[in-house]
Amino acid sequence: MSTNAVRLRPRSTVALAAVFCVGLLAFTWPLLSPRLAEHYAASSQGQLGHSTDAPWLFVLLLPLLLAVVLAELSEGGLDAKAVAMLGVLSAVGAALRPLGGGATGFTLTLVLLIPAGRVLGRGFGFVLGATTLLASALLTGGVGPWLPFQMTAAAWVGFFAGCLPQLRGRAEVVMLALYGAVAAVAYGFLMNLWFWPFAEGFPRALSYIPGADLGTNLTHWLRFSVSTSLGFDLPRAVTHLVVLLLVGRPLLLALRRAARRAAFDVPVVFEPLEQAA
C-alpha cells in the first residue's frame, strides 16, 4: 500500500512545476539578469532586498500552492484525511518555531518536514513546507518580505526529502539526519539570495557586482554565505543531525502507522444500509 498522501499526478505535476519555476526565478533572477538587477536596485531607493516585489511573489505563490492541492482533490490523489494530516503537521511545525533561538540559528521548524516528506511523498512534503512556514510566521509575527522566500525554500526541503533513495532501518535514519544537516546549510545559503544582491556596505569580494558574469556573482555569494551566515547555519545543521538521529525512527514509525490507518490510496465506497448491517 502506498503511503503517499499527495501523489504527483499529471495536473499536480504541472502546478508543482509552475511553483518551482516561480520560486527559482524569484531567488536567482538577479544572478541571471545583472543589468535588470542594477536598474532594480537603483529604482528601489535602498529598500531591503525584495521588499517591493515580495508581495507580488506571495500573490503568485499562494494560488499555485492551492492549485497543487486542488489538482490532487480533482484527480482523487488527496482526500479529507490527507488534508487533515496536512493541517495537523503544519500546526505542529509552526508550534516548534518559538522553541528555536533566532540569534543562534537553532531551530526545529524544518525538522518535521524531512520525515514527513520521506513517508508521505514529495508533493505532500512540498505543500507541507510552504504551509508550515506560513503558519509559523503568522504565529510568531514573522511576516515580512522574506516570507515567500522562506516558504519556497522550506517547500524544497520537504520535496527533496521525498526524493531520497529507498533505505530502511538505521541506514534510513542516518540518511535523513545527514540530509537534514545538508538541507539546513543549503536553506541558509539560499535565503541569503533574497537580500544579498541588494545589500550594501560589504567588501567587494563579498558583494553582488551588477553587470558581472554569473560565475563571479556565484563565487561572491558563496563567500558571503560562508563569511556571514554559516555561523548561524551550522547550529541549525547540528540540530537537525542530532534530533533526527535521536527521534527520526519514532517519527518515521508514527507517520507510517498514521498513513496505513488513513489508507490514502484506498477508495471510499458507500454500501447500502442493509448490506452494511
3-state helix, strand, coil in the chain (%, to 5): 70, 0, 25
Q: Which of 7, 8, 11, 19 is nearest to 156 (CA)?
A: 19
Whole-structure pTM value? 0.82
For 140-155, letters b (16+ CB in 10 Å) and e give eeeeebbbbbbbbbbb
Instruction: Report the CATH number that the domain containing residue 98 is assigned in CATH.
Output: 1.10.1760.20
What average pLDDT does this structure show over 154-170?
Answer: 91
Residue 244 is predicted with a pLDDT of 95
Tens digit of pLDDT for each residue in 169-194? 899 999 999 999 999 999 999 999 88
The verdict on residue 174 lying in a domain is: yes
- Tally of structural domains, the chain: 1
Q: Which of 252, 21, 6 is nearest to 129 (CA)?
A: 6
Q: Domain span at residue 229?
A: 10-263
The verdict on residue 277 lying in a domain is: no
The verdict on residue 149 lying in a domain is: yes
Tens digit of pLDDT for each residue in 27-68? 888 887 766 655 555 555 545 555 555 566 666 667 777 676
Residue 105 is predicted with a pLDDT of 57
The verdict on residue 175 lying in a domain is: yes
The verdict on residue 79 lying in a domain is: yes
